[in-house]
Structure 1
Amino acid sequence: MADSHGSNAGEDQALVILTSDSLQTQGMAMILSNAMQQQGTNLHILLCDAAGDLAVKEYESSEAINTPPSNPAGQVKPEGILSMLLENGANVNVCAIYLPNSENEEDNLLEGVGVAAPGPIAEMMRDPSIPVYSF
């Protein structure tokens, strides 16, 4: 996790915390995160509780969600958007307590997904220049 008080000063950053197990909430969080990333925001995504499953290699949502008419994608799955965000440089972590409280291990996570340490996340949450969005 990058230090939000050092070399990233002045950089447009956001912390998105996703905990919901709702398919539509997960989808909207990923769609909005994608829009922020496309607008130049350096994204930090923290996946906790049921949302941590999105970062598991073999995970697949039960169904796709329909996108709004303004989005030509048609149907998407939250984990698909998450993979795209990762490929485009988003910093994605599962909560520190996700793995010890699930059947997954670090090897089960998508490449590039880490396990968040509470200290750096708390620093970001306290930094007034980094907005925090929670879903």
Structure 2
Amino acid sequence: MVNVDEFADELRANAGKISQRQCATYVRKALAAGGANTDAHPAEAKNYGSLLARNGYSIVPIDEPERFIPKKGDIVVFQPAKGGNKAGHIQGYDGKNWVSDFVQTGFWPGPVYRRERPSYVVYRP
């Protein structure tokens, strides 16, 4: 089981002010800091579901992200948005903000994701 406090601390400690296009790397490092086994991790953010499942995460069904109340340690795996990164996106909730390789302003990581609303899955430890 992942220690969500250590996960959140690592996310915050490494987050930049803007995206560095390294969301999977930063979230993976935070998972490892929280005690997750990240061996044989996928290269692309969109493929992190199986790694999360192996580390005790469960899928949380949500219909409306604007009404969803996240918990510290939650992780969202996004499929690619048209015009976005082909690797998709991954982000974690630190108890206050959604964070990937930067502190985001909300659930959607940027304007392309807000506009396109690609499919995503929320995972909870």
Q: TM-score, normalised by structure 1?
A: 0.29
- Larger proportion of helix: 1
Report the structure number with the largest CA radius of gyration: 1
